[in-house]
Structure 1
Amino acid sequence: MSLTDKEIMDGVLAEFSNLAAIPRKSNHEEAVSNFLKERALSFGCKVIQDEKFNLIIDKEAAKGCEDWPRVIVQGHMDMVCVAAEGVEYDPLTSPIKIINDGEFLRADGTSLGADDGIGVAAAMYLLQQDFNHGPIRAIFTVDEEQGMTGAKELDSKYLLDAKYLINCDSEAFDMLTLSSAGSVNIDAERRVTWHKPEHRSAYKFVVKDLHGGHSGEAINCGYANAVKVIAQAINSITKKTEIELASITSLKARNVIPSEAEFVFTSPLSNVKVFDVVVAKITDYLKAAYGNVEKNFT
């Protein structure tokens, strides 16, 4: 029996709703891995869960299709966990609250987790369907967002007996991408020594309400990086006066283009109007350099 597009989409979204109820921050995927394992077992698949909580799920070929090549569909279980300012959200315990307006899904004040929840949901839906197919293997890895440790430590034997692998971590259902991608993580540390401030006047400089976005999917969109913006502000201020830097903060995930950042400093200058010039300069710079894409910044 053939299914309509709506029936297929409803089935995939039902699987996605299951995932949204389970917190799955990178390096904390045990609960979602256990859930997917039990669910796959419930509809007759064979499941292996390795020490990293990666899942290898096998669906036997349909009758008469046993000689067809094995196809792997692959996705990752973890998600980027980000919440809007003021939203109570614990990425280790809080479920995602989905809002469906009839056209789009979004989350109530947090990231949605469609990267890669929708890919995992589509694969889980596929494993339940009855159609002519060769052996299908679903591989769900952990920690894609931060370090790829799940993929790096996956035993290669689960890949070598398949002819095709389809990575279900793209942006559109109707598009196949043939390419490879990579990333580099750099961790820098510097020992900080603290002392009592010499200057009595303290100030906070904040840039916020930039667009932000995923550093992989949106890196070519021309969005401003809030950390770079405050670095420019610090450079501008130190040309006018000596400062003591108290803090720099940008509380976002490492693979997110920062949409907000702030720094606190002390200065011998007690007249805030001196710094209004810097605020105006940074504002003009953002309008000139990013005005086509950054329309709501503060």
Structure 2
Amino acid sequence: MEVRNLEPKALWNHFADLNAVPRPSKKEERVIAFMMDFGKSLGFETIQDPIGNVIIKKPATPGMENRQTIVMQSHLDMVHQKNSDTIFDFDSQGIEMLVDSDWVRAKGTTLGADNGIGVAAIMAVLKSTDIAHPAIEALFTIDEETGMTGALQVDAANISGTILLNLDTEDDDELSIGCAGGIDTNTKMPIAYENLPANFSCFEIRLRGLLGGHSGMDIHLGRGNANKWMNRLLRHTSAAVDLKLCSLDGGSLRNAIPRESTAIVAVSENDKLTFHEAVNEIIAQIKAEYHSIEKDANWSVSESSGSDKVVKDSDFERIINAIYAVHNGVYRMSPAIEGLVEASSSLAKVTVGDGVFTTQSLQRSSVESSKEDVANTIRAAFESVGAEVVQGGEYPGWEPNADSAILKVMANLYREKFHAEPNIKACHAGLECGILGKHFPGMDMISFGPNIRGAHSPDECVQVSSVQKFWDYLLEVLTQIPMK
């Protein structure tokens, strides 16, 4: 079955139209133009604010004029990741989608359901002629995935709504009322090289097939971090033989758990057998530890043309020590909300090449003081080996409001409609609500959405039946918005 034939057709067709438009973070010019054309084609007031967010305003349907104006909000950009063996140009190609039973996936790339399904749902409501709703201000933000620039710099003068419906949650039984804030930590350290010793051969060590995933939503699942795994292998092997490092490249995106890493190393001809034994030994240990989680982890070691230069031994040692020292994973669980990760850090990217050792990591916390604490922990690990540390891109968390009026409306409706309790919770992802709440003090906010799995990875998929559930629920919510 084609995606466009799925129900509800209005939503899926808008999703297909959206996915035909390349929309990487920080390169949203085409999708901004797409959304501006969409709003204008409907005859509605359509605004592009100075940073690039798009606002489309639709009047209330008859009989709904006395309800509060709502802001329906989703972000236009998507994470661009692909499998190493997938040939795909995100800058020029539309996402290639396929229907797999009850799920929609992409062919070897991220799907863009995060947050394209939310965008498509809003578009379907805007274009509809038979859906009852109050006045709507549709807010489509940019650059959510790489800094939340759109939310940070939104022009508040264009928004008058008092209730915000954020459609960026990834479990259809969940009503999110809080989220984590974040800060990026980027490091850089110059490294020295020396000539490749005589009688040394180069090898390429490749790690592929880890689960990866969202470094906020999936950080508590104990998945492997390719950068940490590769570093562990390098340290173990360098204790067995005189190992030299030529280059290192692991991870890709700051907000994704790294799935892949490649190292080029050099070893003496006389140590080849010991080298392979040490590599096989540590790989077996790691696989044994993660056998129930990382079932598709794949290591390979092959001879390489390598390089005529290797990293100086003292710098190689500093690199290994820094990566070993840096915290990765859950830093603290919330003592106030059961099961919520309060603070975490993910070592997203590591590179060694062109005379420099660089890393990118992202720290998250729902508590500002512990966000600072975990960020300082990461800073200390790299400064201790002499690396330059730059921290930025900071954004606030969203403090839960258990007395939210829209929460009470939506929780009661969920119980009535699905005969079950909604999962009311805060999440460890960086939703834009925390930032938007600073721009719009007093705005009542909530986030919800359909089941999306594997966000920020090529395994990303969205459940068809869950989208139908989400859509029906959304339409009911629109009829029950409180009076002004």
TM-score, normalising length from structure 2? Answer: 0.57
**C-alpha distance in 2 between matches for 1:26 and 1:292:** 34
- Cα distance between partner residues in 2 of 1:12 and 1:174: 20
Task: Name 2:113's counterpart in structure 1.
Answer: 114
For the residue of structure 2 that corresponds to 1:119, the secondary structure is: helix
Deviations 1:199-251 (A, max 9, x none): 52212222211111122232222210111000101111221233321111125
Question: Following TM superposition, by how much is the alpha carbon of 1:287 offset from its aligned partner in structure 2, in angstroms?
Answer: 2.9
Distance in structure 1 (CA, Å) of the matches to 2:90 and 2:163: 34
Aligned to 1:228: 228
Identify unmatched segments of 5+ residues in structure 1.
1-5
Name the counterpart of 2:257: 257
Amino acid at match of 2:59: E
Q: 1:185: which partner in 2? A: 184
Report the number of matched residues: 292
| Deviation at residue 177 of structure 1 after TM alignment | 1.5
> In 2 relative to 1, CA 131–276 (structure 1 residues): closer, same or farther, beyond 3 Å?
same
**Greater helix share, structure number:** 2
Change (3 A) 1:55 1:153: same
**1:13-92 counterparts in 2 under 5 A?**
13-92=12-91
Q: Secondary structure of 2:170's match?
A: coil
Deviation at 1:7, TM superposition (A): 7.8
Which one-letter code corresponds to 2:168 in the other structure? D
CA separation in 2, counterparts of 1:62 and 1:265? 66
Using the alignment, how far apart are the partners of 1:72 and 1:85 within structure 2?
A: 39
Cα-to-partner distance string for 1:42-97 (whole Å, 9 max, x where unaligned): 12321111232211111111233222111111111111111122322122111111
Which position in structure 1 is the counterpart of 2:244?
Answer: 244
Query: Which moved further from structure 2: 18-27 or 260-269?
Result: 260-269
User: What is the distance in 1 between the residues matched to 2:22 and 2:6?
Assistant: 27
- Structure 2 Cα separation of the partners of residues 167 and 282 of structure 1: 45
Greater strand proportion: 2
Tell me the amino acid that sits aligned with residue 276 of structure 1. Answer: H
Task: Determine which structure has greater relative contact order: mean sequence separation of CA pairs < 8 Å that are 6+ residues apart, divided by chain length.
Answer: 2
In the alignment, structure 2 segments of 5+ residues that lack a partner are 299-484
Which residue of structure 2 aligns with residue 99 of structure 1?
98
1:201–1:270 CA contact under 8 A, matched in 2? no
**Identical aligned pairs, as a percentage?**
33
Partner of 1:141: 141
For 2:195, the equivalent position in structure 1 comes to 196
Distance across 2 between alignment mates of 1:119 and 1:51: 23
Flag as ranges the 4+ runs of structure 1 deviating above 4 A: none
Structure 1 residue 8: Cα displacement? 5.6
Q: How many Å apart are 1:20 and its aligned residue? A: 0.9
**Cα pair 2:50 2:155 within 8 Å, conserved:** no
SS at match of 1:229: helix
Q: Return 200-209 or 53-62, whichever deviates more.
A: 200-209
